[in-house]
């Protein structure tokens, strides 16, 4: 892919980077450099109530201490509301997005009435209550129409995209993850019509990330495996908006002492960059790079890690 390759690291400024964050950042940086491409940083601060003032600066300092410097100034989602509105307007005009009046309690009651009241990663599968109108209620959020068996909707969505995924059939989205291999999901059944603009007026992650990946020319998304579940939704949105589909690769997670994913939500400690070489070596081991590279500085370590990563890609046929 050469110079056409563009990758990104997209942290949310809800807290400093931790060990798991560095693994994702390092993987995306190595992948960009191995492809002789660009590496960008995007600050995903669209969920403003959860963002901590000044943490974006801390994150950029942590990355810099480890030698991970973006090729362009960071992009901030909080400054891009007009672009998200334009995308939503496009979806509404195409009859692919609709207003929703449902509260969480409404959704729970609807699912219970169908015997389907099961949480999905803390979410509820939306049953499509407002697809056919609000029935006199005030709109609260906007959702993407994810499926329509009569119109074969997912196929119609994807056919708008410049690059098609492997296969869309029977409402199932298929794609190939560069690390995890063949993947598939029926978004309508697994998630339902998902939110594009929230009831509090904030933009949802799924819409913002798709719009921004296209705006930044992202060809490859390299991120933690915990985000793999988002891929099918993003593919549908990319298709609906006629946007290019990047390749996806999801990296191994760093687990805490309780066996769960290390995260800010479960109290992960901030990444200590007073010893950046040690931090890079630990992250590299999670990515199955050899330990003990003879390096005195982060730049030395990274210089040796790039060809090792490139060699693994060659073996994998990438």
Instruction: Retrieve residue 312's tokens.
Output: 């693994």
Backbone φ, ψ for residue 110 (5° rounding): -65, -40
User: Which whole number is the average pLDDT over 133-138?
Assistant: 91
Sheet holding 195-197, edge to edge: 97-100, 141-144, 195-197
The pLDDT of residue 1: 45
Is the pLDDT score of 120 beyond 70? no
**What residue spans of 66-181 are helical by DSSP H?**
81-93, 104-113, 153-158
Model confidence at 317, pLDDT cuts 50, 70, 90, reads confident
- Write the pLDDT tens digit of every residue in 237-282: 998 899 999 999 999 988 665 555 656 555 568 898 999 999 999 9
Backbone φ, ψ for residue 17 (5° rounding): -60, 150
User: Which whole number is the average pLDDT over 100-105?
Assistant: 93
Domain 2-78+254-315 has CATH 3.40.50.620: yes
User: Which whole number is the average pLDDT over 107-124?
Assistant: 74
Is the pLDDT score of 2 beyond 50? no
The 3-class secondary structure across 148-197, one letter per residue, is: CCCCCHHHHHHCCCCCCCCEEECCEEEEEECCCEEEEECHHHHCCCCEEE
Mean pLDDT for the chain? 88
CATH number of 81-197: 3.90.800.10
Instruction: Retrieve residue 142's tokens.
Output: 């906007």
CA distance 311 to 316: 9
pTM exceeds 0.95: no
The pLDDT of residue 26: 98
| Cβ atoms within 10 Å of 57's Cβ, excluding its own | 11
Model confidence at 34, pLDDT cuts 50, 70, 90, reads very high
CA distance 171 to 173: 7
| Cβ atoms within 10 Å of 178's Cβ, excluding its own | 16
The pLDDT of residue 220: 97
Comma-separated ranges of CATH 3.40.50.620 domains in the chain: 2-78+254-315
Comma-separated ranges of CATH 3.90.800.10 domains in the chain: 81-197
Model confidence at 182, pLDDT cuts 50, 70, 90, reads very high
Q: Look at 312 and 34; give whichever has higher pLDDT.
A: 34
Model confidence at 112, pLDDT cuts 50, 70, 90, reads confident
């Amino acid at each position: 892919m050469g110079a056409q390759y563009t990758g990104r690291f997209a942290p949310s400024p809800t807290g400093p980077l931790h060990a798991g964050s560095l693994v994702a950042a390092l993987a995306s940086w190595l992948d960009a450099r191995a492809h002789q491409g660009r590496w960008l940083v995007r600050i995903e601060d669209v969920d403003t109530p959860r963002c901590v003032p000044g943490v974006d600066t801390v994150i950029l300092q942590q990355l810099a201490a480890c030698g991970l410097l973006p090729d362009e100034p960071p992009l901030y989602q909080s400054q891009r509301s007009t672009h998200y509105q334009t995308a939503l307007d496009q979806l509404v005009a195409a009859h692919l997005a609709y207003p929703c009046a449902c509260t969480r309690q409404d959704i729970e009651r609807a699912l219970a009435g169908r015997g389907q009241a099961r949480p999905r990663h803390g979410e509820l599968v939306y049953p499509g209550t407002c697809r056919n109108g609000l029935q006199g209620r005030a709109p609260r959020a906007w959702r993407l129409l994810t499926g329509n068996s009569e119109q074969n909707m997912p196929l119609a969505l994807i056919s708008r995209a410049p690059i098609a995924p492997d296969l869309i059939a029977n409402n199932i989205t298929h794609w190939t993850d560069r690390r995890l291999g063949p993947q598939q999901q029926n978004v309508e059944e697994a998630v339902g019509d998902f939110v594009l603009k929230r009831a509090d007026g904030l933009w949802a992650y799924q819409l913002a990330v798709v719009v921004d990946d296209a705006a930044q020319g992202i060809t490859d998304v390299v991120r933690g495996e915990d985000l793999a579940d988002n891929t099918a939704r993003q593919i549908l949105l990319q298709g609906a908006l006629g946007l290019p589909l990047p390749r996806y690769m999801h990296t191994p997670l760093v687990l805490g002492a309780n066996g769960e994913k290390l995260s800010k939500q479960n109290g992960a400690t901030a990444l200590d960059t007073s010893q950046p070489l040690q931090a890079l070596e630990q992250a590299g081991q999670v990515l199955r790079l050899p330990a003990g590279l003879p390096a005195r500085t982060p730049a030395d370590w990274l210089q040796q890690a790039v060809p090792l990563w490139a060699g693994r890609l060659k073996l994998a046929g990438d």
